[in-house]
Amino acid sequence: MSTIEVPAEFTLARKNKFDYSNVSRWILSHVRPYWGIMLLLVIGAIGNAVLAVVVPVLTGDAFDSIKDHMDTSVLLPLALTIGISQIIRGVLQFGRNFGAELMAQKMERDIRDELYLSLLGKSMTFHNLQPVGDTMARSTNDVREVNYMFSPGVNLVVGSFMFILMPLFFAPTYHWSLILTPLIFTVIYFVALARYLKQLAPITDDVRATFGAMNTHLSESLDGIEIMKGAAQEEAEVDRFIFNAKKVRDAFVQQGELEARYIAMLLLGFAFAGGLFHALLLYQAGMLTVGQVIGYFGMLQLLSFPTFTSTFAYSQISSGISSARRILDLINSETHLDQNASGTTSQIRGAIEFQNVSFKYPSGEIILKNISFKVKPGQTVAIVGQTGAGKTSLAKLINRTYDVSAGAVLVDGVDVREWNLASLREQISIIEQDIFLFSRSLNDNIAFGKPGASKNEIMAASIAAQAHDFILDFDESYATIVGERGATLSGGQRQRVALARAFLTEPKILVLDDSTSAIDSATEDKIQRAISNAARGRTTFIITHRLSQIRWADLIIVLRKGEIAAIGSHEELMQTSEAYSRIFRE
């Protein structure tokens, strides 16, 4: 089986290898490991359909026995035969339904697992550009639609297909010409079905896309609800949501309109009328008995099942394929970063060099231009500049959150692209201004980067980050559950927990991205001492506007519009750089 290797930051080995070349092969590669379940489904469908024919055939035999011989003694054996056959049929139908549902649930589990691992392996560039709401729609609703594609979708399609075959196989046993009606029905049925599916595919694509757009807006609204309420824009956002919901409704209505125009039911009526007329002509010519006419018409009744289910079942399959296509597009989205599992894994000393580094986003916006500087192990570097100067982007090139567009970033003389990505990032800790905490206990949040940390290690890191005292003030201390994104903590508390998390991992390179901006002046001195202690023996980058933190840096880099405007120590820059000295005057 051919597969396409998709670049990813991190990948985990899985027993099953899936084919990503197109949506059909991807679905089949998910089905293949469960061929035994599919076999159960098919055997159950065949047995169910064959035993369904028993009822009209034996009913016709009963009519002939009574009409021709007035023999009622055969009725009991025929009734028992029908009863036993339908019990067996029920068991087989249970096997078919159970197999389809088991297949659907296993596939949903596998796809969720596969998609989650794929999303974790995507670069930050991907996640910055991909709307969270749409990702959530694909990860939840679209995956569920693939489940429904198999149960009831494929289950009903396989079952109904077997019912279509039954009149073709058994009707000629009465008279060879009786195959004409079910044959004509089958041909026109599949021609109409092909046309229906061709028209349905773009509509179900639109249904899934509009649902994703609505979910994107919902996610953004909830994330920005504080801003929305602060600006009194609830009514405007409701109008936007109604507009998006109307597009979803219109797409579903369009799908329903197409389903309503599907001619299968009309075709079934013609089949009943034509088949019965044909059978009666043969009866009149003495070529069929009454019982055979009844048995034949009973066989035609089996066509009701595929006709009734076709609209729903094939719509479900079309929706499932549209959803599978959206999931596969997400999985196949390139990240342009790779794990480089065979790369350098040695312990970092902390020497960093930027060699003519330029960086731009996929949109083409240039962020950094021709950045060059060297940092010795253990030095502290302050990066200053106006908002939008590229300070954070520069720091994120060190751990390959982003990759350079030109030039190279070296850690200990090795290009970061030549490092094993996991090894590189395990030894670099970045504390950002927008602190993210998980909705877990304080203990788990601090130990996130080192899950096996002891209580003493966690407490020591908290003390170093000046977080221990306020944690003890909570009723459950370190077991206190913080809200989503740490909403139950103040800004200063969140930042101190993040500092404790960084201190616990003992990184060789520490990046503090304006990480003390939300800390009050009374706490700042304590945090400053903690940062000073943490900086000893490791290379530290500080992105800050606080002059007290800039002064004691070994190297200060002044960025202006993505370029280095000045570089040197505090004393040197105060004498030689107008841009730097202006920062202190302001």
- Please tell me whether residues 449 and 494 are part of one structural domain: yes
Does a structural domain hold residue 1?
no
441 half-sphere exposure, CB direction, 13 A CA radius: 12
| Structure tokens belonging to residue 177 | 């010409």
Range scoring the smallest mean pLDDT among 205-209, 365-369, 401-405, 514-518: 514-518
- Please tell me whether residues 365 and 509 are part of one structural domain: yes
Range scoring the smallest mean pLDDT among 102-116, 156-170, 207-221, 508-522: 508-522
Does a structural domain hold residue 516?
yes
Q: CA dihedral defined by 484, 489, 493, 499, rounded to 10 degrees?
A: -10
- Please tell me whether residues 381 and 472 are part of one structural domain: yes
- Please tell me whether residues 291 and 387 are part of one structural domain: no
| Structure tokens belonging to residue 141 | 């609703």
- Please tell me whether residues 568 and 470 are part of one structural domain: yes
Q: Which residue has the tokens 């060789």?
A: 508
User: Residue 470: its pLDDT value, please?
Assistant: 86
**DSSP structure string for 220-259:** HHHHTHHHHHHTT-HHHHHHHHHHHHHHHHHHHHHHHHHH
User: Residue 88: its pLDDT value, please?
Assistant: 93
| Structure tokens belonging to residue 92 | 């087989």
Where is the domain boundary, 332, 365, 385?
332
- Please tell me whether residues 172 and 308 are part of one structural domain: yes
CATH number of the domain bearing residue 252: 1.20.1560.10
CATH number of the domain bearing residue 397: 3.40.50.300
Ramachandran assignment for 541, one of left (phi > 0), alpha (psi -120 to 50 degrees), beta (any other):
beta
- Please tell me whether residues 428 and 327 are part of one structural domain: no
Residues 384-403 pLDDT 10s: 888 778 888 898 899 888 88
Q: Is the pLDDT of residue 447 over 90?
A: no
- Please tell me whether residues 245 and 359 are part of one structural domain: no
- Please tell me whether residues 159 and 92 are part of one structural domain: yes
Does a structural domain hold residue 11?
no
User: Residue 476: its pLDDT value, please?
Assistant: 86
- Please tell me whether residues 377 and 237 are part of one structural domain: no
Does a structural domain hold residue 338?
no
Instruction: Yes or no: say if 8 and 339 are a contact pair by the CB < 8 Å rule.
Output: yes
Q: Is the pLDDT of residue 9 over 70?
A: no
**Using H for helix, E for strand and C for coil, what is the string for 140-156?**
HHHHHHHHHHHHHHHHH
Q: Is the pLDDT of residue 4 over 50?
A: no
Where is the domain boundary, 302, 332, 362?
332
Residue type, 232: A
Measured distance CA(26)–CA(36) in Å, rounded:
19
- Please tell me whether residues 296 and 412 are part of one structural domain: no
Measured distance CA(12)–CA(121) in Å, rounded:
9
Residues 204-217 pLDDT 10s: 888 888 888 888 88
Burial class (CB in 10 A: 0-12, 13-18, 19+), 36: exposed
**Which stretches of 311-453 are assigned E, i.e. beta strand?**
352-360, 366-375, 380-385, 406-411, 414-415, 428-431
- State the average pLDDT over residues 109-134: 81
Measured distance CA(205)–CA(318) in Å, rounded:
9
Q: Is the pLDDT of residue 11 over 80?
A: no
477 or 234, higher pLDDT: 477
Does a structural domain hold residue 183?
yes
Does a structural domain hold residue 10?
no
Does a structural domain hold residue 34?
yes
Domain span at 432: 352-585
- State the average pLDDT over residues 347-369: 87
Residue 302 neighbours by CB distance under 10 Å: 22
Number of domains comprising the chain: 2
Quick one: what percent of the chain has pLDDT higher than 70?
89
432 or 89, higher pLDDT: 89
Range scoring the smallest mean pLDDT among 239-248, 333-342, 445-454, 479-488: 333-342
Computed over every residue of the chain, the mean pLDDT equals 83
Angle between helix axes 180-223 and 304-332 (nearest 10 degrees) is 40
Does a structural domain hold residue 2?
no
Where is the domain boundary, 270, 300, 332?
332
**DSSP structure string for 295-340:** HHHHHHHTTHHHHHHHHHHHHHHHHHHHHHHHHHHHHH---S----
Residues 150-185 pLDDT 10s: 988 899 999 889 999 999 999 999 999 999 999 999
- State the average pLDDT over residues 298-313: 87
Strand-by-strand arrangement of the 414-415 sheet: 366-375, 352-360, 406-411, 414-415
Residue 38 neighbours by CB distance under 10 Å: 17
Picking from 139, 542, 198, the residue whose alpha carbon sits closest to that of residue 375 is 542
- Please tell me whether residues 324 and 375 are part of one structural domain: no
